[in-house]
Amino acid sequence: MGIVDTCLGIDIGGTGIKGAPVDTAAGRLLHERVRILTPQPSAPDPVVEVVRDIVARFSWRGPVGVTFPGVVVDGTTRTAANVDKGWVDLDARKVFAEALRLPVTVVNDADAAGIAEMRFGAGQGRGGTVLVLTFGTGIGSALFHDGVLVPNTEFGHLELHGHEAEHHAAGNVREEHDLSWEHWAHRVQKYLLHLEMLFSPSLFVIGGGVSKKADKFLPHIKHVRAEIVPASLHNDAGIVGAALAAQEGCGDALLPKS
């Protein structure tokens, strides 16, 4: 299959599933995104049905990129921290391709968001070590060195104060515990300092839904040497990154059986 400049990106999260066609040359959504609540339980079959619904709403017949909140290796979902455990070791690319009857590429959700931010957003043109972090239902991470991705880092599961970091500082933790932005920022600061000790990045890009409220928490983060900026693509980064993955994976995306 040749290179295409329009792909459908679908971003699966623990709370919502959203998607839209994307102009992959410009990194922008071509239509208003569709967002549907993630089924509970978030087992493969009901999630696939939501993805099929989004594809149908756009009458889409081209390549599809799908993000997943966990480790993805060659289209197989290896972990499932914030969704149903039925996804563990599932050949998700095959499942989606057979359900959609379209070429499908599956990629880690934070990696997708990071790819989009490095190509079109806050990380564009930045060398050295860059960490893109998404704060939502959990904490996703994408690590880049001189623009090259190290996939499936999953730094949200690093231990921080005896707990997984995302249990301490994820975006939903602020909401569930009714934390002030300042209080939550102090938690994020401890997490960033821990990452800085390990990786010495030159730049942190803060993504996820909280990126739209950066003015409420970034001023409260101190003592971090690296530059800290909000994601430019905000919560659309996963959709754009999924579409980019679909475009670049067209050669090896799983095609449905004829």
Do 99 and 134 belong together in one domain? Answer: no
pLDDT digits (tens, 9 = 90+) for 41-78: 999 999 999 999 999 999 999 999 999 999 999 999 99
- In terms of domains, do 158 and 72 share one? no
Q: Is residue 70 domain-resident?
A: yes
Domain span at 137: 122-232
How many domains is the chain partitioned into structurally?
2
CA distances from 109 to 51, 61, 194 (A): 15, 22, 22
Q: Which of 166, 165, 118, 162 is nearest to 142 (CA)?
A: 118
- Per-residue confidence at 161, pLDDT binned at 50, 70, 90? confident
Q: Is residue 137 part of a domain?
A: yes
Residue 140 lies in a domain: yes
- Tell me the average pLDDT across 165-178: 96
Residue 116 lies in a domain: no
Q: Are both 146 and 201 inside the same structural domain?
A: yes
91-101 burial, b if ≥16 CB within 10 A, otherwise e? ebbbbbbebbe
CB distance 147 to 125 below 8 Å: no
Instruction: Say yes or no: 211 and 157 in one domain.
Output: yes
- Does residue 117 fall inside a structural domain? no
Query: How confident is residue 248, by pLDDT bands cut at 50, 70 and 90?
Result: confident
CATH number of domain containing 92? 3.30.420.40
DSSP character string of 141-159: EEEEETTEEE----GGGSE
Give the full edge-to-edge strand order of the sheet including 139-145: 148-150, 139-145, 129-135, 203-207, 227-230
Considering the domain boundaries, does residue 206 fall inside one? yes
